[in-house]
């Protein structure tokens, strides 16, 4: 997709800090960190949101989430938990229309995010 910022990140036209990459997904730090280590996991295939997934893509993308979540947690002993968030549609607060899954590390129960 020509005008998609996340496709541009996949292509390397926009820089990102990569956390994980394979043939199916790219994981990179969110530009606006809710907590340190806030990561977005995106399919390399452009789909706008959950409503455009077929079963095979869903299996391929979502089955990778636990591995990436564990890698983030293992990278910092201060990480005690992690929120997984996926916004679909403008009314659900989606702002970038290339599907992405937020992995948001939690450090204490006083993090400024709920």
List the structure tokens of 96. Answer: 């970038």
List the structure tokens of 48. Answer: 């706008």
**Set 46, 98, 100, 102: catalytic member:** 100
Decide: is 83 part of the binding site for ligand 5GP (CB under 6 A): no
Decide: is 3 part of the binding site for ligand 5GP (CB under 6 A): no
| Among positions 1, 31, 75, 84, the unique one binding ligand 5GP when judged by CB under 6 A | 31
Rank residues 5 and 79 by Cβ distance to Zn ion and give the closer one: 5
Q: How far is the CB of 112 from ligand 5GP (least distance, A)?
A: 15
Catalytic-residue membership of 38: no
What string of DSSP letters covers 65-105?
HHHHHHHHHHT-TT--EEEEE---SGGGT--SSS--EEEEE
Residue 5 interaction partner, one of ligand 5GP, Zn ion, none, beta carbon < 5-8 Å per kind: ligand 5GP
- Name the residues that contact ligand 5GP, by CB under 6 A: 5, 14, 16, 28-32, 40, 87, 93-96
Known catalytic residues are 100
């Amino acid at each position: 997709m020509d005008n998609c910022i996340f496709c541009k990140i996949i292509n390397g036209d926009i820089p990102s800090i990569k956390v994980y990459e394979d043939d199916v997904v790219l994981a990179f730090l969110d530009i606006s960190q809710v907590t340190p280590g806030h990561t977005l996991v995106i399919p390399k295939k452009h789909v706008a949101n959950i409503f455009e997934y077929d079963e095979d893509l869903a299996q391929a993308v979502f089955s990778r989430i636990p591995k990436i979540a564990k890698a983030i947690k293992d990278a910092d002993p201060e990480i005690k938990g992690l929120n997984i968030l996926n916004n679909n549609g403008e009314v659900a607060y989606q702002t970038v229309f290339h599907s992405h899954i937020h992995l948001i590390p939690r450090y204490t129960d006083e993090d400024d995010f709920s």
